[in-house]
Chains A and B, each alone.
Chain A
């Protein structure tokens, strides 16, 4: 077989800057890299010397897509460091925000970044002419997630007043009712989305790997939980440094991360593989109707897992609204710090588990910070899948292989600008 080279400079329809480089000679892969060329931003150093109450606002700016997720991991780490235990209502409202962000992010990925591949177009724009009903539905659903966050926290990109100890502004009951109504009204669009994605056939690719996600009693964990792996152990978030290790590789401004196996996957597919029994009924039913049985070992099914999670978050959000509305007479009060120490927090953001870790001095200023980002955790796994795919597609036209690789990278929904902020070098 003759050799070929693939060089995709700045892969499109992903968040951030990444290159795909493949070099095959005489049927052997000589070089295969997912290069992360995003400019490093050094968030952990930027946090040094800042007061604890700035951390959530600063770290939200790591990522415009999962700003609520970063805010959650940040306040969980801060509350651990400050000796704050939030009340139950605060947790319910946080979970509602997470549902909103997850719906928004997954819909953006599925309709705007992934769907064009299946319609054989370069973006969602031509679809506005050929499939206007699909585009209009996509915009309505994306707006749904944004609106939930806007009503509760001012905006979705960099939420306001979501702080350690509680919310700077607690929503009025009529606002929660409005959120509930917006959710209810979206049901037909979600049903149509299920019908659409039923018709899209994911490419085949099978490779065994490790899955890591949070696990919490009685729920499909998003807000927080213990670290669980498909290869065993469940341990608290504070143990994250014992569970995973980072290493610098020269072609990636985001460090690679490993757990027990050589690489592992996080994100919708990993969560579903670990927590599928806790899915809410509609989500569970659709998963079954699609004929899929976890564990989903095909990485392209991360797209499918996102679809299932949209339904789950939709059902969960309505439940959160009802629980909040049932607590009549509740008066929200921010909880104050009881100590300044070290704390770690873990939360599931759209692309997988996210860790924040802060150490505070006696004045409540950050002396050391660490953030471990989902996309960084996925990088080694994406490259391993790329190897398998290139082998599986041997003999096909390089153009076709390139398209397959781009779709594979896209299926992971990488958030590259997010992934380039790491401290704490650990060579393994």
Chain B
């Protein structure tokens, strides 16, 4: 990974009076539902430990301070306006480590559904003649705009993973994201496969890490962590077709969170 050495936080840096300085954290939010930064606030059991380990210097939803001397930036949301492009570039310039958090930031997520529509028409429909007041660009992931050091996937991010990744960063390590299919976690959790209940699921081509939480609560995976690097699309489509899903219904599954990673279905629908 280029520039990896610069990712390592300097541990045990001494501040004034010989006290150990805590790494400084900034939390930033772009186009999103703010559910991922809320997940940070939802670390009820770990909150006091977290505040002991890092100094939060910028977190608009929770604190008044807005300092720019952060070491680590957690960035939530997709980039969808010119102003957001400038802001995320400024954050990248200041942070030693930039972590994109949540599906909007890492894969475009629900926000990317917008890109399936003509933007000018969309703006006209929503704001009418007022559209010119509200600049909006096609949805982009954070890494489409600035270099990203780590991506924490999920909609929303998972609390346990959040703690694990934060700990790794504090130890000067960059954890590796999962490259196992969701099905492995479904098996670990001893979920009954949804196909055995007559429900179609695209878990076999989706990156795990969430503990298969949706199948555990009876719902098919929505692929909010994105596809595996080398998903077996051909087999997945064959299975969905054999269960009677139309081409449009297969496309629904593949696009709800992943419109920025388009899958060409035409080879599988030659007839």
Chain A contact residues, CB within 8 Å of chain B: 10, 12-17, 39-42, 44-46, 48-51, 54, 57-58, 61-65, 67, 108, 112-113, 116, 122-125, 128, 135-136, 139-140, 142-143, 146, 153-158, 160-161, 163, 167-169, 248-251, 253, 417-418, 422-423, 425, 427
Contact = CB atoms under 8 A, between A and B. Distances in A.
A73 to B, nearest CB: 15
Given A42-B126, A64-B38, A123-B64, A169 B44 contact: no
Instruction: Kindly list the 7 A-B residue pairs having the minimum CB-CB distance in the complex, ordered from nearest.
Output: A64-B35, A168-B218, A122-B64, A123-B63, A248-B130, A169-B218, A425-B128
Interface string B125-161: 1111110011010000000000000000001100000
Contacts of A248: 127-130, 133
Nearest to A70: B33
Secondary structure dominating the interface of A: loop
A108 B122 contact: no
Interface string B101-137: 0000000011101101100001101111110011010
Contacts of A253: 133-134
A57 B222 contact: yes
Given A54-B256, A112-B41, A423-B126, A417 B110 contact: no
B33 A417 contact: yes
Contacts of B239: none
Contact of A62 (B33, B41, B45, B126): B33
A123 B114 CA distance: 35
B1 interface: no
24 contacts: A13-B60, A40-B123, A40-B127, A44-B125, A51-B249, A51-B252, A58-B113, A63-B34, A64-B35, A108-B41, A112-B62, A116-B64, A123-B65, A146-B42, A154-B217, A158-B155, A160-B213, A161-B217, A248-B130, A248-B133, A249-B130, A422-B126, A425-B126, A427-B128
A61 B155 contact: yes
A89 to B, nearest CB: 16
Contacts of A58: 110, 113, 256
Given A13-B64, A45-B125, A46-B117, A39 B30 contact: yes
B47 interface: yes
Interface in B75-96: 80-81, 84
Given A40-B126, A158-B155, 4 more contacts: A54-B256, A64-B156, A135-B48, A140-B44
Interface of B: 29-39, 41-42, 44-45, 47-48, 51, 56, 59-66, 80-81, 84, 109-111, 113-114, 116-117, 122-123, 125-130, 133-134, 136, 155-156, 213-214, 216-219, 222, 249, 252, 256
A417 B78 CA distance: 13
A250 B130 contact: yes
A354 to B, nearest CB: 14
Given A45-B122, A423-B125, A125 B63 contact: yes
Given A143-B44, A161-B217, A15 B65 contact: no
Nearest to A117: B64
Contacts of B65: 122-123
B252 A50 contact: yes
B252 A54 contact: yes
Given A50-B252, A54-B256, A13 B61 contact: yes
B64 A128 contact: no
Nearest to B46: A139
B33 A61 contact: yes
Given A39-B136, A64-B34, A45 B64 contact: no
Contacts of B217: 153-154, 160-161, 168-169
B44 A125 contact: no
A76 to B, nearest CB: 19
A92 B167 CA distance: 40
A40 B136 contact: yes
Contacts of B114: 41-42, 45-46
B62 A13 contact: yes
B256 A48 contact: no
Given A44-B126, A112-B41, A155 B213 contact: yes
A12 B60 contact: yes
Contacts of A45: 114, 117, 122, 125-126
Contacts of B41: 108, 112, 142
B44 A425 contact: no
A65 B61 CA distance: 12
B252 A42 contact: no
Contact of A142 (B42, B61, B216): B42
Contacts of B156: 64, 155, 157-158
Q: Which one of B32, B114, B217 has the greatest number of beta carbons of chain A within 10 Å?
A: B217
Nearest to B124: A425
A13 to B, nearest CB: 7
